[in-house]
Amino acid sequence: MGELDGRVALVTGGARGQGAAEAQLFVREGASVVIADVLDEQGEKTAGELGCDYLHLDVSSESEWDSVVSDTIERHGRFDILMNNAGIFQPAQLLSTSTEMWNRTVAINQTGVFLGMRTAARAMIDSANGGSMINTSSIAGLEGGFGATAYGATKWAVTGMTKTVAKELGKHGIRVNSIHPGAIVTDMIEDMIDGKQDKMASRQPIQRLGTPTDIGEMALFLASDRSSYCTGQAFTVDGGVFG
């Protein structure tokens, strides 16, 4: 018996990296999983390897969210877990942050999470089965960072939205929590940290960089009944950097 037997999960940004790792663990534990992304070729490939469904989703689009959640329910009959993983990272200090970069980062990292929670909440409330929403923030959403003004702003927003929505949806049996990764080696940041891995790891209490599976294991905990009394919380997975 898996921890998620009979449940249906939607993982955004599921084509690769943390999202793919989360989807893999959810499938392993018995969930019916739909991964969604804008990287259609990679998403179809990942879904085929994992034995789950793939749907195209631009998380900044309200109409696409409506379509994907409706399609998920039509395919699987219910909706239990939302893994809001999709996001982008474009480093730039304040004076180098263009309005275009700001708006794109907010649209994906912040508005995308808002739309996902709102659309999923409506579906979960209608089904009256409760549910779990898990939002990917960052340690940049818990402390001031350097050199990524737009990214940090959106990740603080995710932290705040998580705590607020958890209070609103608790009466419906819906739990809402956030995960705050530290330095996780994914395609999104691999080029930026190339050649710096050893130096970065040496500065951490746990002297290695994180993997997508490290985040996936936390997501699995929050999706499962093991975290049934946890909501509105920020779970840090960063090797001890934020403490």
Domain ranges of the chain: 8-236
pLDDT at 194 over 80: no
Instruction: Give the C-alpha separation, 178 to 185, whole Å.
Output: 19
| pLDDT digit string, tens, across residues 112-134 | 999 999 999 999 999 999 999 99
| 94, 182, 38, 224 alpha-carbon torsion, rounded to 10° | -140
Question: Does residue 195 have a pLDDT over 80?
Answer: no
Those residues whose C-beta lies under 8 Å from the C-beta of residue 230, and which sit 6 or more positions away, are 175, 177, 222
At 76 the pLDDT is 97
d(CA 157, CA 231): 17
Rounded to an integer, the average pLDDT of 191-196 is 62
> For residue 242, what pLDDT is reported?
80
Report the pLDDT value the prediction gives residue 6, as an integer from 0 to 100: 96
Positive or negative: CA dihedral 106, 180, 88, 226: negative
For the segment 10-16, the average pLDDT, to the nearest whole number, is 98
Kindly list the catalytic residues: 151
The answer, yes or no, to whether residue 192 has pLDDT greater than 70, is no
CATH of domain 8-236: 3.40.50.720
The candidate with the shortest Cα–Cα distance to 224, out of 70, 24, 5, 52, is 5
* pLDDT for the residue 223: 98
Mean predicted confidence (pLDDT) in 155-162: 98
- Give per-residue pLDDT as tens, 18-70: 999 999 999 999 999 999 999 999 999 999 999 999 999 999 999 999 999 99
Indicate yes or no: pTM above 0.85.
Answer: yes
Give percent of the chain with pLDDT exceeding 90. Answer: 85
Confidence (pLDDT) at 203: 78
Q: What is the largest CA-CA distance in the chain?
A: 53
- β-partners of residue 72 are none
pLDDT at position 114 is 98
Transcribe 107-154 into DSSP letters.
Answer: IIIIIHHHHHHHHHHHHHHHHTS-EEEEEE--GGGTS--SSBHHHHHH
Model confidence pLDDT, tens digit, residues 72-111? 999 999 999 999 999 999 999 999 999 999 999 999 999 9
- Mean pLDDT computed over every residue of the chain: 94
